[in-house]
Amino acid sequence: MIFHTFTAAHLRAFTINVFIKMGCSTTDAELAADVLLKSDLRGIDSHGVARLSGYVRLWEKERINATPNIRIVHETATTATVDGDGGLGLVVAPFAMKVAIEKAAIYGSGWVAVKNSNHFGIAGYHALMAVEQDMIGISMTNASPLVAPTYANERLLGTNPMCYAFPAGKYPPVVVDMATAAAANGKLEIASRANQPIPDGWAQDKDGKGSTDPNELKSGGSLLPLGSDKDHGSHKGYGLSATVDILSAVLSGANYGPWVPPFVAFLDPPTDPVGEGIGHFLGAMRVDGFRPAADFKDHLDNWIERFKSAKTVDPDKHVIIPGEPEYAFEQKRSVSGIPLIDVVVEDLNVLADKLGIERLKV
């Protein structure tokens, strides 16, 4: 594979141009670009600018509203439901997280369910907004149905990520940001490109039999929940995914389970929706609502140090703190740039030509 490396600033300017061509306001285009770039900077290549043409295709099908009227439709002091009006999740979710943070600033915590939205990028971006305010951030979203619950031979759930982020003192934030499937779809795509089998326990074929074919999803197969099979706790991965689905969509009035509209524009949404768009769930809790923030950070630093210095099976490996690899990527790529594989660069330049904007400078 051939990689081309770009500065974050160059990719950001390109991305802003794309969103402006879609009709987004400058403010929204900048915010959406920041969310996508955060993913590329943090090394989560599957959720960054590589998805840009996917968002454009949804907009072309009129499944994304570039000028949404995002608004609170129901609330109490510390809870709210936000209607994303079909906007980019990249813009809707930060709006909702801001509402959660504002409520938390006054009352200690804030919780926002979102309906009528679209793919929101990496969950970590939104949770980290709270961390910047010395709050604990929580973010979740449901997603296109790809995962079969334990015993099922149907795709009923998305890879439904959940994220918990905590502010530390001298260390980077602890960020648990994970799909509730055994492996996210992006990992199957990487194996497929490399012509490699996937491990047992990631997917099953259309008959519900375990498979190591990375292309299984294209022939009617399903991803498996975290835990992979009943013996290894797949009912727990399924339970977590169900939790994300219920908080994000049953609570907000979005589509849930198999009714979630697919991210890919070539698949139409179900014709019998049970809600509006896809759903998210965002939360913020002030650390000093529980104990002084400095005490919490001191102890989280101690937690981090103890886990990092743990005895390991392989002396060349250390126990990884959740969020540590992504932080290291962010430090490195902010300086040395973001590598994109040539097929992604080509895809983005085809998009540039179509929209009549400047190409990426390779």
- Interface positions, 93-122, toward its own copies (CB under 8 A): 106-109, 111, 113
Name the residue nearer to its own copies (CB basis): 172 or 339. Answer: 172
User: Which of 13, 176, 190, 352: binder of its own copies (CB under 8 A)?
Assistant: 176
User: Which of 89, 158, 257, 337: binder of its own copies (CB under 8 A)?
Assistant: 257
Q: Can you read off the two tokens belonging to residue 147?
A: 């995962």
* DSSP label at residue 3: E
Tell me the C-alpha to C-alpha distance, in Å, between residue 92 and each of 89, 234, 290.
5, 32, 29
Q: Which residue from 99, 123, 127 is spatially nearest to 113, judged by alpha carbons?
A: 99
Angle at 9 between CA 8 and CA 13, to 5 degrees: 115
Name the residue nearer to its own copies (CB basis): 110 or 337. Answer: 110
Specify the 3-state DSSP secondary structure of 117: strand
Task: Tell me how far, at minimum, the Cβ of 227 lies from its own copies, in Å.
Answer: 6
Candidate segments 10-18, 41-49, 314-322, 327-335, binder of its own copies by CB under 8 A: 314-322
Task: Tell me how far, at minimum, the Cβ of 150 lies from its own copies, in Å.
Answer: 7
User: Which of 89, 149, 173, 221: binder of its own copies (CB under 8 A)?
Assistant: 149
Task: Tell me how far, at minimum, the Cβ of 293 lies from its own copies, in Å.
Answer: 11
Name the residue nearer to its own copies (CB basis): 52 or 113. Answer: 113
User: Which of 307, 330, 339, 352: binder of its own copies (CB under 8 A)?
Assistant: 307
> How far is residue 159's CA from residue 203's CA, in Å, rounded to a whole number?
12
Interface with its own copies, residue 299, by CB under 8 A: yes
Classify residue 340 as exposed, middle or buried by CB count within 10 Å of its CB (0-12, 13-18, 19+).
buried
Binding mask 209-248 for its own copies (x = CB under 8 A): x----------------xxx--xxx-xxxxxx-xx-xxx-
Name the residue nearer to its own copies (CB basis): 89 or 253. Answer: 253
Candidate segments 43-51, 83-91, 204-212, 213-221, binder of its own copies by CB under 8 A: 204-212
> How far is residue 201's CA from residue 199's CA, in Å, rounded to a whole number?
6
Inter-residue contact 297 to 168 (CB < 8 Å): yes
Name the residue nearer to its own copies (CB basis): 29 or 147. Answer: 147
Candidate segments 4-12, 15-23, 26-34, 175-183, binder of its own copies by CB under 8 A: 175-183
Inter-residue contact 222 to 148 (CB < 8 Å): yes
Contacting its own copies within 4-43 (CB under 8 A): none
Residue 294 backbone phi and psi in degrees, to 5: -65, -40
Binding residues for its own copies, total number by CB under 8 A: 88
CB atoms within 10 A of CB 303: 15
- One-letter amino acid identity for 15? T
Task: Tell me how far, at minimum, the Cβ of 166 lies from its own copies, in Å.
Answer: 6
Per the document, the length of the chain is 362
Residue 278 backbone phi and psi in degrees, to 5: -100, 170
User: Which of 266, 272, 317, 353: binder of its own copies (CB under 8 A)?
Assistant: 317
